[in-house]
Structure 1
Amino acid sequence: MALSGVALTLLAGCSAETTGQLKRLGLPEAGTVQAPAIGDLWIGTWIAAGSIGIAVYALVIWAALRYRTNHNDMPRQNRYNLPMEIFYTVAPFVVIGVLFYYTVLAQNVVTKNPDPDLTVDVVGQKWAWTFNYKSADVPGVGTDVWETGTINQWSTLYLPVNKTVRFNLSSPDVNHSFWVPVFYQKMDVIPGRDNHFTVTPNREGVFNGKCAELCGTYHSSMLFEVHVVSEAEYEAHLKTLVARGQTGEAKGAAIPNPVGEPGNTSEGDPEPAAAAQQGGTR
């Protein structure tokens, strides 16, 4: 009771945001329809691990107190303890089986591929992100458009709220990993392999995204922002890209690879933005 009181007192001194994050065991507030399935698995796994840990420590403390003695005589030695050995063999399989079952349930939710409302081809390249909006059906757009970033300027990704989006992931150079923490999931971006996943953002706001795979010299620059906005704002943004002439498809140069100080290039290698434009409509 005293421990619970101390915990409640400490939580009372935290902001609502911090308190919410503590209740989610470090996870940010979910930003997609699919995210709660992963969040529940995360919290359930910690509860299971914590329960096992408490049980083990309780048994250790109980044994230490129950069998303590003031003499140095060696206790009776047993060659084996069959019930205990059976327990230690079966218990891990029970734990693994339960976690596997709930993992499959969560996996079935997040790996569903319903018909998307829109498709975004994501290109991870050294060292920026390029987003191709497959937007031929958007009124007033009528063509695919793209946007990208550089080492010194984050990429931005616009998504309409409550619309299902399919991300097609590709890379022209090295392994990357597409991660938006509020999605509660990430996926590798591997050269020569087309990965994909589907989510439905259900909360407007600006969220951080990053590369979760150590991909080289400027890995730390592979950041981007996700703007989840109303459908009207989303369509207005795509029209802005059309007005800038960023139409067609940008897959990135084969080897953008700027070296030296951030923003500088070597042997005429273009910045990722320029590389994407040169390698664009192809």
Structure 2
Amino acid sequence: MAMARRRLLALASQLQRRAPAPPATQPWRHATPRFLSSAASGPLDRLKTPPLARPAARNPASSPWDRFGGGQKRTMFIQTQSTPNPQSLMFYPGKPVMEVGSSDFPNARTAMTSPLAKALFAIDGVTRVFFGSDFVTVTKSEETSWDYLKPEVFAAIMDFYSSGQPLFLDSNSAAAMDTAIHEDDSEIVAMIKELLETRIRPAVQDDGGDIEYRGFDPETGIVKLKMQGACSGCPSSSVTLKSGIENMLMHYVPEVKGVEQELDGDEEAELAGAGQME
């Protein structure tokens, strides 16, 4: 028994000498993970960046709008609206256009006083420009497509508002308040102007145009008006003038016997040419 016990003790002593010494520390308990160490520079370093970190700000000079000049990023959002005239389209820049009244540019010659109107007429295919309170109406030629024209108009409007230029180079070029009531106006004329300003003009402006008071003949009872913007040359303008405006004026002002449209020289020539072609 004593001999067997001594052999067991000797075997245990040998096994103890051969076994590796346990490490003083456990690396998975005390060592700092590599990707959390400030000295780490491996691929796992990306875990130190928050997952929702914002990318670095882009250089404004690389904006796609730079081709329109200045390297300034544009934030204007322009909306469009159709009109009864298929050749006219309303553009809403989201900013005031005319503070008072409206302004019509039937040709490029009349647009020399306005940088915006001049820029729009520089676009091939634009035949008329009109400024309303918060919109710009552009009329095109029949052979020009809106698919081509709209991006050019967008660019011209954005360039104008970013340039800081005034709408008119000469303040006297702005449209006069044709419906303003003066002291020397008769009661009939005052009533006509009030109806035009409060009842008729807002409805016409909704269609991208305007109507200008040109006078009243008390002897014949004829009111002379001028259609502007999209309403000028619109196929339904004569119907609007007679069925809508004339009926309303004659209803509220019995002295009014009719309404006539007054045309400029260029418009008369265009109508005469159209009649000869037909």
TM range (shorter): under 0.3
User: Normalised by the size of structure 2, how large is the TM-score?
Assistant: 0.23
Greater gyration radius: 2
Q: Which has the higher contact order (CA 8 A, sep 6+)?
A: 1
Report the structure, 1 or 2, having the larger strand content. Answer: 1
User: Normalised by the size of structure 1, how large is the TM-score?
Assistant: 0.23
